[in-house]
Amino acid sequence: MALFFDQEWFDTKLKASGLTRDDLAAALLLTRSEIDEIWKDQRELKPNEVAMLARVLGAPAADVVTRAGIATPSPAPAKAGPSDAALMEKLEEMEARLVRIERAIADLQSLILATRQN
């Protein structure tokens, strides 16, 4: 783990990605001044910023943490999402529920029309 923010490594990664510090500021929803503070090791990265920085640079979050200085927190590991089969099953359940709701609405409309005609 780097003791201080490794400006050279981050600048090299930015350049390789065709990005500037201004682009990075926009991606992280920070000001350029905040990015400069990070580069000068005057501002610590937050876990969500580490994750976004890793995505923008195309680098593993662990590399960003290692190069960002000793106090940089690691982002929480991504939670495993449901499988495709589970998602499809849930989607089918929702579709069946929607069909039932549409039928109930149609029945209610018919009842309303029938009471108006009487």
Give the model's pLDDT for residue 15.
93
Closest CA to 49 of 72, 32, 71: 72
pLDDT at 103: 95
Q: Tell me the two tokens of residue 47.
A: 């876990």
Which pTM was predicted?
A: 0.58
pLDDT at 2: 60
Q: What is the pLDDT of residues 33-48, one digit of tens each?
A: 999 999 998 988 888 8
CA dist 104 and 22 (Å) reads 54
Please, are residues 13 and 78 in contact by the beta-carbon 8 Å criterion? no
> Does residue 62 contact residue 51 with C-beta atoms inside 8 Å?
no
- In this prediction, the residues of the chain whose per-residue pLDDT falls under 70 are 1-2, 71-74, 76-78, 80, 118
What is d(CA 85, CA 95) in angstroms, rounded to the nearest whole number?
15
**Can you give the pLDDT at residue 78?**
65
